[in-house]
Chain A
Amino acid sequence: MEIRSREFKQRSVFAIHDANLQSALDRARDGFIGTRAARAAELPEFEQLREEAKGLKNHILEHLDHYLEKYEAAVTAAGGHVHWARDAAEARRIVLEICKRHDAKTVTKGKSMISEEIGLNEALIANGMEVVETDLGEYIIQLAEEPPSHIIAPAVHKTKKQITELFAAHHDRPPKTSVPDLVNEAREMLRGKFFAADVGITGGNFLIAETGSSVIVTNEGNGDLTQTLARVHIVTSSIEKVVPTLDDATLLLRLLARSATGQETETYTTFSTGPRREGDIDGPEEYHVVLVDNGRSKMLGGRFREMLRCIRCGACMNHCPVYGSVGGHAYGWVYPGPMGSVLTPLIKGLDNSYDLPNACTLNGRCASVCPVKIPLPDLLRELRHMQHQRELSPPTQRHALALWRFAATRPKLYHFGERIATRALALAGRTKGRIRRMPFAAGWTDTRDLPAPTGKTFIDQWKARRGQK
């Protein structure tokens, strides 16, 4: 997927004025936040689980090479194949080779964010394959030729009416208006594709080192059909998804569902271990795992290691008031919201995504709901620090900061400046108590009045009063 994060500002303004998007976002926000809170409240040990999960992920990241090697050995022992991809291009090439070797014409996909990250669909389509997204949300946006706007609810930006129109345009059937009718229609359209598929590609929510299993969770069962009906199953996953044991996966699964959709558990949680064995009634003939690095090992060795704890639940974006105002497309790449604002600059470069770490009020709501306690605001601030050091921030901002520092480290000068500013602003506000227009502060006064100072500065008044005593 092409990165368009440089356009964040324009895209965010456009999004705020898109009435359809705003109504879709309002609806989604109400649903996700309430249900997560309810499920968390039902589980007295929820906070303790977050702490345990954080500890578990830290342990894994500390010994990532060990668990990945163990995982690879277990997959091989179960008759599967593990492929290592350093970057997106290598990952695409590996998947493409497997598909070509099997002369694949139709490829079905269970939702996988890593495949979006590596731009897999475009590569397969360019090589003449039909690629069908089987997750309902992904199916919808595939018809609309749009990228996902959320990592667990990719079509969350669409209203029901828009989906009705989209289906009517593509399915050659009378328009349906109820949700069950729409879902059934998508199900019918997809059924034939599942049977026709030569290769099924899924993501991996977790990879289990002790058994060599990959785990996916879905609410539609599309992942199961994708991976059992095709002749070949390819799992694409980033390297940090490995966990030591089945028990560890269970801990994270309990947190994932509650944090993501506010369910106790997803409807389908499927463990796959290798290809079909003798006597199995279904399952693929070949089972491949493509382990994608694409910047992770670099993250592992630096100050952004904590980001690799992410289990892709989407809770941060569901609770982010900025995401809730502009939606996921404004962020311009695969991962939106707070987690995306950290990941995108790290994977695609700081200069390609200047606004993302900055377009955050540091209100901390994301960190307060993150199931693995990633300090997202601190990481965003750290990215701003790197931008400042590399002089990527606007010169006006850097000059203003230098001037501010010069004055603020000289209290007499600073107070003098405050005194002048107070007097000027108080004069501008006169008796109205507010200022409607301020040169150089258009960002504020275009939509807001500026409250005017009420008199002299506090410190001046304090000194005058104490002096009288």
Chain B
Amino acid sequence: MKALYIASTGMGAQERNVEVISNNIANMRTTGYKRQRAEFEDLLYQQITRAGSQTSDQGTMIPAGLEIGSGVRTVSTPRVMSQGAVNITERELDVAIRGEGFFMVQLPDGRTAYTRDGSFERSPEGEIVTSTGYPIDPGITIPGTATSVAISPDGMVSAYLDNESTPTQMGQLQLARFVNKSGLESMGDNLFVETAASGPAQVSVPNNDGTGDLMQGYLEMANVNSVTEIADLIAAQRAYEMNARVISGADQMMQATSQLR
């Protein structure tokens, strides 16, 4: 009975759908989180009669074929890279990106990771680091004597040192853009790494070459919409139940067969 296997692919797909949705809901309050969406595809079809097969010598042919599909598979879980809500926090090292682009983060193993999470801190040495403690790239160090830090929309970081009345420039934040943002690989910790599918990072200063500008004192929230997620969850759950019913229906048919003697 093919229907059993077909329905089991359906249950598998819905299970994965629920996993993706629950991860979105779990990360509803994660700064800079981008929601994922499960995308499905139908599987190969068994061609029992091909459309257009001849039915007589007069050239009449079958107008529609007889084909039976073999279920569904999850093809990808692309991230929806739309802008999340921007909330005011009034912390001087909270930075939100308005528009496209990612902050660059130096990983301990030497690689560069990318993030939309702009909740930065200062390390004991005064370096600007992410909340996980990884330095941002290019590295910017703010001396301990600085009283306040200002970050301009185009990424210029300046600090007021020793109560001077004019700020001193400490460096400029840079943003990376990708041709295919959805192709980035997530590595947890709000970080993404580049893949062959994302294309190479194009680094530029904010407000240039299609990158967004920066907003100091704001954080970008997750772009998860709880109502949509719950609606999707209900739909996935019902679809799972229906596929389970198909399995029991197919089982009932098999039972009818096996009782024949």
A and B physically associate: no
Give the A-binding residues of B (Cβ under 8 A). Answer: none
